[in-house]
Structures are given as structure tokens and as C-alpha cells.
Structure 1
Amino acid sequence: MISAALAREAGHQIFALSIDYNQRHQVELAAARRIARALGAVRHVVLPIDLSAFGGSALTAEIDVPKDGVGGDIPVTYVPARNTVFLSLALAWAEAAGARSLYIGVNALDYSGYPDCRPEFIAGFERLAELATKAGVDGEAFRIHAPLQHMTKADIVREGTRLGLDLGLSWSCYDPTPAGTHCGLCDSCRIRHKGFEDAAIADPTIYAVTPPAP
């Protein structure tokens, strides 16, 4: 959401891509549709690609989402190569559409330790885009923008507020309740809530339980 808003602020038109990878938290796709409308996206594509066929993650297989806080290891909510898959699809659309700037909302500070959120990954993918596309071979460089990468969650909340966004439209939870609320206990809920607390900005999120510290 905030990454897309920053793209708009930089003068870009928004072509939004969401991936329906048969994730546990399908509610995030409804949130993505609301956000795309709110930001005035020229087009919003929801592309189905069923990563549950591979499994290997609590988000795509019958594995419990951890609820005991952020640990030191890469958690089971990591989806194998997810951001590589997502950026590859975004790159394909960008090349077809004649776009050369791709924005992704990864963060490498207040996060769960996913390897495909790191600066090294973004830099490596940008190099791949140069090598793997006709546009790149023709000298038309792609730029992978990750404007939130070095921000704390509090910084991100403040930035969203500066941009005038309704942060209640966004979604973070990995294990939504049957009522469609944030669970309050998964890593993502805990990190989200702490970001609002640290920013001293009211959290508009509805949680099943108030998130404890990460």
C-alpha cells in the first residue's frame, strides 16, 4: 500500500499486481482490491498461481502458523522463493506494458527474517532483470524500488500517515479469524501493532486479541 502510494507520489501510474497463490490469508486479496481502488490504480490484476501445490510453508500447507513471537530462525511462514516468483511475474508484465519501474513493499528491519526481503535479493533481481529480458539486453534498464526496505515499522506507519493513507485498509495477519479479523498473535500482527505503538499513532486494526510484544 505505502510502496504503491510512494510510486504514485513519484509520478508513476499504478498498475497493481496481486498474486492469488492459494494462501491461507485470502482476505489479503480483498484488501488489495480496496487499496488499488483507493489509490486510483489504472489496472489491478489478481493473478492465480497455486503455490500450495508445492507446500513447504504454513501459508500454503496444513502447518500451524506460529503464535509464540518472532524467533531467531526463518519461520515456517516463509513461502519458498515467493518474492522471486512475484517479481518475475511483475517483471513479465512490466516488460509487456513498457514499464521499467517495479515497486515492492519488502522490509528488512522489522520483519521475520525472510531471505527474499534483503537488499542483496533486490539488487540481485535487478541484475537478473537486465540479463533475462529483451528490454534489458536492449539497454532499457529495469529499476526495482523497495522504498520501505530500510524503514522501521514505526517509520512505515509515519510515512503512511504523511501520505494521508487509510492504514486500516491494509492487511498483515497470516492467520485471520473466521470473522475476518487479524488474529493478534502471529509474527505479522505483533510487528504491525508494535509499529503503530512505536510511532505513537492509533492502530486502526481490529484484532481478535491485543497483540503482545514481538
Structure 2
Amino acid sequence: MLKNEKAVVVFSGGQDSTTCLFWALKLFREVEAVTFDYGQRHSLEIECAKGIAAELGVQLTVLDMSLLGQLTQNALTRTDIPIVHVEGELPSTFVDGRNHLFLSFAAVLAKGVGARHLVTGVCETDFSGYPDCRDAFVKSLNVTLNLAMDYEFVIHTPLMWIDKAQTWQMADELGAFDFVRERTLTCYNGIIGDGCGECPACKLRRAGMESYLHMRGEAGDSQASGMEGQE
């Protein structure tokens, strides 16, 4: 059914949104992507998104959201604010209103290009304390957008209930494991691929990858042992 539909992916060029882009390309007839320039720490993020979209043949729109960076004080838009994740507190990398505004603007774009499906890589399992990554928020906004625009959107969150290891597994099953590992930018310090290895985003990404590779290795060993027994 979805093969006859069009989708817009909220796209940053990171691990999660790139995995979602591959997911959307498999499920939908036509896919576009939208990236936001909100004064983030690394303009390389936008260049990375442009490069990936071009390689995959996906139409990419970059929207100027620099006003958001002027309104909030956080470590993603201010280099003088340290990146700190303290359990029980909002991380310093939380950008107030970001996903709310991104999805709202993506919806306006989607309606303009005739798409009823929005895809975002938010995740409640590994959401790092970000309130706008929660399923309740996405469902609430979905209803609000439909009412506000009198248009039947569906917001898809393919990563919502899976952890980083399972996200790597999804990328692998989509044939995109190496692409995601080598081409995406997750690192808060702006290093493409495996990143700096020290920031919270890199640690979460690497822990998930190592966990998945360990599981994949055990599965491979088990399969090989079973085949040996049949010989």
C-alpha cells in the first residue's frame, strides 16, 4: 500500500535519520528529504546531508531555521556551552522546540509536494532525556497537524521502540550498514563516521554497534555450528 505513497524524511545526515531514509526508500514510491539549518555547531552536518541525499538520488530541501538558534541556549548552537549529559536532567544538547518545529515545517513542505507521510528518527528507547523524542509527543503533534492543516498526515517513527543495537541491525537488513557507518555524522565534535569516540553521541553509537556486531557474530557462529552438524 505504501508503495503508492510519497514521504518526506526529516533528515540530518546522522545515523538515525539516514537509516530512516533507507527505510523510507524501501517502503514508499517516492521520497524527499528536508534538512534544517538552525545554527547548529557544525555546518558540516548540512553538507553531509546534501552529499548523502545526492548519492541516493533523493530531492533535498534545506530550510533556514536560524531563528531557533537565536532563541535558545544549548550546546548544539552555542560553542561556549559544554556538552553535558547528567542523569535526571535535560542534556545541555537539548534544543527547545526543535522536533516540534522541524516536524511542523516538514508537514507544510509535505503538503506542498503532495506527500501524506512524514518520517523521523526520534527514539524513546535511547532518547537521552529529550521530551520531544517521546511517542506521546509525536502522536499528539500528528493529531494537531492534521487538524491545523485539514490534511491527513501520518508521522512514522521506525526507531521509536528500538535501541541503538537494533538500529544498526535495521541498517544492516536494509543493506546500508557500511554506508551508515562510514558516511553519517553523529558526533557532537563534527567527525564523520566513527566520530571522536568521546562525546555522548559517539559513545551511544559505538556501544550500539559493538553490541549488534557481537550478536551478529554469535548468530553467525551458531549458524555455522548447525551446518557442521548436518554435514
Q: Same fold (TM over 0.5)?
A: yes
Match of 1:11 among 20, 28, 33: 28
2:149 aligned residue: 133
Q: Write the mapping of 1:9-88 to structure 2, written as runs, cut at 5 A.
A: 9-41=26-58, 43-50=59-66, 51-61=68-78, 62-66=80-84, 71-88=87-104
- Distance in 1 (CA, whole Å) between partners of 2:138 and 2:103 is 10
Tell me the alpha carbon deviations over residues 76-123 of structure 1, each in whole angstroms, 9 at most, x when there is no partner. Answer: 100001000100110000111111000001111123110011100110
- Distance in 2 (CA, whole Å) between partners of 1:173 and 1:190 is 9
Q: CA deviation at 1:181?
A: 7.7
Other structure's SS at 2:30 match: coil
Letter in 2 for 1:40: G
- Normalised TM-score (structure 1): 0.83
Gaps (5+ residues) in structure 1?
Answer: 136-140, 202-214
- Distance in 1 (CA, whole Å) between partners of 2:197 and 2:87 is 16
- Distance in 2 (CA, whole Å) between partners of 1:145 and 1:2 is 13
- Percentage of pairs with the same residue: 35
Match of 1:172 among 186, 204, 207: 186
Change over 3 Å in CA distance of 1:49–1:79 after alignment to 2: same
Match of 2:165 among 142, 147, 154: 154
Alignment: residue pair count: 192
Q: CA deviation at 1:37?
A: 2.0
- Distance in 1 (CA, whole Å) between partners of 2:165 and 2:173 is 12
* RMSD over equivalenced CA pairs, Å: 1.9
- Distance in 2 (CA, whole Å) between partners of 1:78 and 1:95 is 28
Other structure's SS at 1:107 match: coil
The structure with the largest helix share of the pair is 2
- Over 4 Å off, 4+ runs: none
Asked whether the 8 Å contact 2:194–2:202 carries over to 1, the reply is: no
